[in-house]
Amino acid sequence: MTVAAPHLAVLAHPRHPVAEPFAGGMESHTWHLCKELTALGAHTTLYAPRGSDQSIASELRTYPELTLSATAARDETRPSDLELYQHHALMSAVAEIAADSRIDAVHNQTLHYLPIATSALLPPMVTTLHTPPFSWLESAIRTGGRGTGFVAVSRYIADEFSELLATPAHVIHNGVDTALFRPGPGGDDLAWTGRMVPEKAPHLAIDAARAAGRPLSLMGPIGDREYFDLQVRPRLGGTIDYLGHLDRRGVAAVLQQSAACLMTSVWPEPFGLSAAEAVCCGTPVIGFRVGGLGEVICRPELGSLVTAWDVPAMAAAVDRVVDLDRTATAATAARLFSLRRMASEYLELFAGLDALRGFDRAG
């Protein structure tokens, strides 16, 4: 494999387009990393759902749809349409990659079992672990995981997989576009950004903001309409605004003008990309101490963590963090979480895959 310009096949998760506004952190991670690897000289072939951004890769391969025969469509035991689509999409991509002698390495950004299960048939692979273990992923690792190396987005995730992997996962923290998420002047208001789902608990951010006596702007897609209508919508009004699903520039503009950002996830965050984006803007974070968030808010100048569900403690922390030096916050964050740092670490890992597998691919 040529280190200066490897040919990488990038498998995006077959659920949401890899395009702005991002459906979630995985789409954002795939978009930014693919774009940065291409800028660093890699030839990238991105396999992704329809509607993905072609500009970030050297080539875009859109996952195919599956049209069943009339007989198969009558099968009452068939999986859901989404499961069928994802299975067919990745089977098609795996077959294409296996037949393409140009490809030096594969970056698996999916949560699906198929790339891992078939990894021994493909060029050397790196799988990024974005979540804790779950049943299908664990089965694939136990049966086919020797064909791929693993990267975890945090030490927390690496530890969660430690009993499954013969070789510990390499930890590469997610990166932020610091040219866009750059220092801002701050303000009096609080911010919250993420998917509107129960496990992200934006309703707790509203309660904390009211308790702190601060206005709050919420941003993000509605991932669970019932939850939003029952828990979030009734709390809106007055000084609490829902701004909708903004693109990166919109999110950055709000964060740059905010006093602090609240992170209210009550499930173990694998990393906490929204927190990293906030601190790169100089905006300190107050979050619940869960999952990998402590690896983002890892210095006093970046903010404060409190016990999960403790809304009064979150509200009380606001006055402490808003007095932090925003310049110091942004400088520390840029050093820890730049895109170039992340992409360079991945590129170095890809360059070593031939030695890892004894790989000698012609062409």
pLDDT digits (tens, 9 = 90+) for 220-277: 999 999 999 999 999 999 999 999 999 999 999 999 999 999 999 999 999 999 999 9
Dist CA 140 CA 273 (whole Å) = 27
CB 35 within 8 A of CB 180: no
pLDDT confidence of 144, banded at 50, 70, 90?
confident
CB 332 within 8 A of CB 299: yes
Dist CA 168 CA 183 (whole Å) = 36
pLDDT in tens, 45-86: 999 999 999 999 999 999 999 999 999 999 999 999 999 999
Dist CA 131 CA 152 (whole Å) = 9
Q: In this structure, are strands 260-263 and 190-193 parallel, antiparallel, or unpaired?
A: parallel
pLDDT in tens, 278-301: 999 999 999 999 999 999 999 999
Give the CA angle between residues 298, 220, 198 to the nearest 5°: 80
Locate 248 and state its tokens.
């990166």
Tell which CATH classification among 3.40.50.2000, 3.40.50.720, 3.90.110.10, 3.30.910.10 matches the domain 7-69+76-175+339-357: 3.40.50.2000
CB 259 within 8 A of CB 188: yes
Locate 225 and state its tokens.
């309409």
Could you tell me which of 161, 227, 167 has the C-alpha nearest to residue 194?
Answer: 227
Could you tell me which of 159, 175, 170 has the C-alpha nearest to residue 268?
Answer: 159
Do domains 7-69+76-175+339-357 and 190-336 share one topology? The answer is yes
Q: Indicate the burial class of 58 (C-beta count within 10 angstroms; 0-12, 13-18, 19 or more).
A: middle
Could you state, in order of their start, the residue ranges of all structural domains in the chain? 7-69+76-175+339-357, 190-336
Give the CA angle between residues 24, 25, 29 to the nearest 5°: 130
190-336 CATH fold: Rossmann fold (3.40.50)
pLDDT in tens, 85-110: 999 999 999 999 999 999 999 999 99
- Buried b or exposed e, range 296-323, using 16+ CB within 10 angstroms: bbeeebbbbbbebeebebbbbbbeebbe
